[in-house]
Amino acid sequence: MVPDLDLQLQAVIKALGDTVMPALDPANRVAAEQLGLSLATLGMVRARLPLAARREWQELQNMIGLGEAVAALGDFSALDAALADAAVVRDDANPLPFARTKATHAIGAAISAIVSAGASDDVMRAVVTHSKPATDLSRAWSLPAGFEPDPEDVPALESLLGL
């Protein structure tokens, strides 16, 4: 097997489209639909693969911004610890795979615990206000899937990634 991820994805997409799709029973519409969606998803992943590391960094940066806004509103030791760990990972030039995603999730879990414990209105406002960058990034990343009702309202992915 070739270790190049792009080539592997290209080969899987070709095999599924050229070999598996024609072999499907035409009466099995659900299977054909699911295979079509799978092919589209693989194509989107392949197209986005070169931006994946930048997205992971930006997602962490967005979550740090949200975490800092919430941390400024109270004494939240678990959140403070997650933010300190995340800053180190964010600034690491060569982090372990998924380290930034793990740090993003750690901040999110700390914020979730604060909200679940009955957060103040100020904390809730901060969560809503500071969630917009993460929401915009998720919408832009997934734009090729075609589910956005108003695609022109979604910021350009490149601008959200600082490219």
Q: Where are the domains of the chain?
A: 5-51, 52-143
Q: Which of 123, 121, 151 is nearest to 139 (CA)?
A: 151
How many C-beta atoms lie closer than 10 Å to residue 132's C-beta?
11
- Residue 15 scores a pLDDT above 90: yes
For residue 4, pLDDT over 90 is answered with no
- pTM of the predicted structure, to 2 decimals: 0.83
Question: Is the model more confident about 118 or about 109?
Answer: 109
Query: Which residues, at least 6 apart from 94, have a Cβ–Cβ distance to it below 8 Å?
Result: none
pLDDT at 1 over 70: no
The overall average pLDDT reported for the chain is 93
